Amino acid sequence: MNYLRVGDLGQDGFLNALDLSIRAKRDPAHFGSALAGYEVGLFYMKPSTRTRVSTEVAVSQLGGRPMTLRNEEVGLGKREAPADVARTLDRYLDVLALRVFEHEHLDIIGAHAKAPVINLLSDLEHPCQALADVQTMSESRSLPGSVLTFIGDGNNVCHSLMMAAAMLGVEVRVAAPEGYEPLPEYVEAASQYSSVLVTADVNAAVEGSDFVYTDVWASMGQEDEAAERRRLFEAYRVDEKLFERANDGAIFLHCLPAHRGEEVTDGVADHPRSRIFDQAENRMHSFKGILLYLTQ
Ligand code: CP
Ligand code: NVA
């Protein structure tokens, strides 16, 4: 089984992976040799801090061996076809995890490798982030019936988060400028599990929210659009005034890296109810959860 999209696991599988993530955090020693003998390939076509470090540490702490590869060496789709890269790496490695531009490359690799393939971020999803996000959310309150508002660009982080939160019974709202809404297929898929609202009205969306989440306005690879996006997303900055519209006790979330002063102010990122570094920590525990789920 692969974890390329949050929906790949189904609701039961996703709950199972979340449970393993929570147990791995609570009792890391219990899983200290769960991946003994496993070689885990971690491949990057884009920069990374959290994913790079949390995944390597997670594999090591499970008793496996991480091997990080950069695209400068592999040349995915240029030096070698993705299907051939997959069939080659599959002969050496027991798990493949990749950060790519085109999600289609992951689909091809997933189809040509027998080893489980994990998405470490693509243009379509960031499913490992979403597992850490719901783990973090579950640490603050019971999730069914709670309200999460994602503000900003409805792309990879938003897609995975919508699915993950909806599968846990969270009401999902997305406030995005026109033209930057999540793809209809994600709205439809998440709506099968919970109520989902997509709106351009950011103030109304935040009212009554228990969780307020944002991401950068220009993702990796979209640097050329940064100036235009700054103009279009200006009204979607999460500042203290907007955050105050959320419920008392509401939690602020961000996958990081943050562009402070753009999508979020320092006052919110460093707010006593910001959980952004818990999210970063949980990337490690939840990567263990997903590895345990896919290999045991
Ligand atoms: N949140 C996240 O994926 O961070 P990195 O890009 O630093 O890995
Ligand atoms: N949407 C961002 C997330 C970074 C973790 C990007 O794709 O760059």
pLDDT tens-digit series, residues 214-233: 999 999 999 999 999 999 99
Residue 195: inside a domain, yes or no? yes
SS3 92: coil
Ligand 2 center to residue 291 CA distance, Å?
22
Q: Does the C-beta of 50 come closer than 6 Å to ligand 1?
A: yes
pTM of the model: 0.98
The CATH number covering residue 22 comes to: 3.40.50.1370
Q: Is residue 61 part of a domain?
A: yes
Measure 83 CA to ligand 1 centroid, in angstroms.
Answer: 26
Q: Which ligand is nearest to the CA of 256?
A: 1
268: in domain: yes
User: 156-167 vs 184-191: helix axis angle to the nearest 10?
Assistant: 10
Annotation says 129 is catalytic: yes
Q: How many angstroms is it from 284 CA to the middle of ligand 2?
A: 17
- 236 and 120 co-located in one domain: no
Residue 99 known to be catalytic: yes
- List pLDDT tens digits, range 43-83: 999 999 999 999 999 999 999 999 999 999 999 999 999 99
- The number of distinct structural domains making up the chain is 2
Q: Is ligand 2 within 6 A of the CB of residue 81?
A: no
Same domain, 90 and 144: no
The whole-angstrom separation of Cα 60 and Cα 70 is: 19
Structural domain containing residue 246? 140-274
- Are 189 and 255 found together in one domain? yes
Is 240 buried (19+), middle (13-18) or exposed (0-12) by CB count in 10 A?
Answer: exposed
CB 98 within 8 A of CB 118: yes
- Looking at the structure, do residues 231 and 287 belong to the same domain, yes or no? no
The percentage of the chain sitting over the pLDDT mark of 90, rounded to a whole number, equals 100
Residue 111 shares a structural domain with residue 195: no
Whether residue 48 has its Cβ less than 6 Å from ligand 1? yes
Write out the chain's pLDDT in tens, 296 residues: 999 999 999 999 999 999 999 999 999 999 999 999 999 999 999 999 999 999 999 999 999 999 999 999 999 999 999 999 999 999 999 999 999 999 999 999 999 999 999 999 999 999 999 999 999 999 999 999 999 999 999 999 999 999 999 999 999 999 999 999 999 999 999 999 999 999 999 999 999 999 999 999 999 999 999 999 999 999 999 999 999 999 999 999 999 999 999 999 999 999 999 999 999 999 999 999 999 999 98
